[in-house]
Structure 1
Amino acid sequence: MDITINAVGFELDKDQSDLINKKLERIKYAEDLLVDVLFRVKDNKKYIFDTTLNFRWGMTAHVSTEDYEFASGLNKLVDMLDQKIKKEKDKIQQKT
């Protein structure tokens, strides 16, 4: 699983980058399900977190959230990513 992190309109400082990497550890269980994770953060008066998940079976999922605080927005996003991955995994398991 490749993870690409991009900041748009600002530079991620070391603490923010470390926090993103720490939070993304939560979806490491899905390494065998995902080809890559494209993670983008925009700063436009509030933080906009935008993520694209590319699954091995060709499915692409898009998850987005926004918040005035970096950490709480990131937490919301990771919760949504976790739910999305589990939902897609369950769909595939039901088909087999």
Structure 2
Amino acid sequence: MTKTITAVGFNFDEKQSEMIEKKLQRVSYAEEHIIDLIVRVKHEKEYSFDIVANFRWGVQANVKAEDFDFGAALNKVMDVLDQKIKKEKEKVQQH
């Protein structure tokens, strides 16, 4: 799985980069199913996370979350991403 992490409109500090890397380990169980994971973080008034996961079988999952707190937005988007990955794995296993 290839990970691309990009900050739009600001630069990550070291703590934020570590938080993202640590949270992405949560979906490491799906590494063999995901080709690439693209994480884009925007910061205007609030933090906006946009994650695109491209699965090996041609499906693309796109999840988003926003919050004024960086950690809260990251937790929200990771919860949604985790659920999407589980649903996709179930669909593929049923076929």
**TM-score where L is the length of structure 1:** 0.98
1:65 aligns with 2:65: yes
Q: Which string of whole-angstrom CA distances, capped at 9 and with x for unpartnered residues, describes residues 5-43 of structure 1?
A: 000000000000000000000000000000000000000
Partner of 1:3: 3
Count of residue pairs the alignment pairs up: 95
Shift of 1:2: 0.4
**TM-score where L is the length of structure 2:** 0.99
Partner of 1:41: 41
Q: How much identity, in percent, do the aligned residues show?
A: 55
C-alpha distance in 2, partners of 1:65/1:26?
17
5+ unaligned residues in a row in structure 1: which ranges?
none
5+ unaligned residues in a row in structure 2: which ranges?
none
* Runs of 4+, deviation exceeding 4 Å: none
Q: Which amino acid aligns with 1:58?
A: G
C-alpha distance in 1, partners of 2:78/2:26?
8
Partner of 1:19: 19
Provide the aligned C-alpha RMSD in A: 0.4
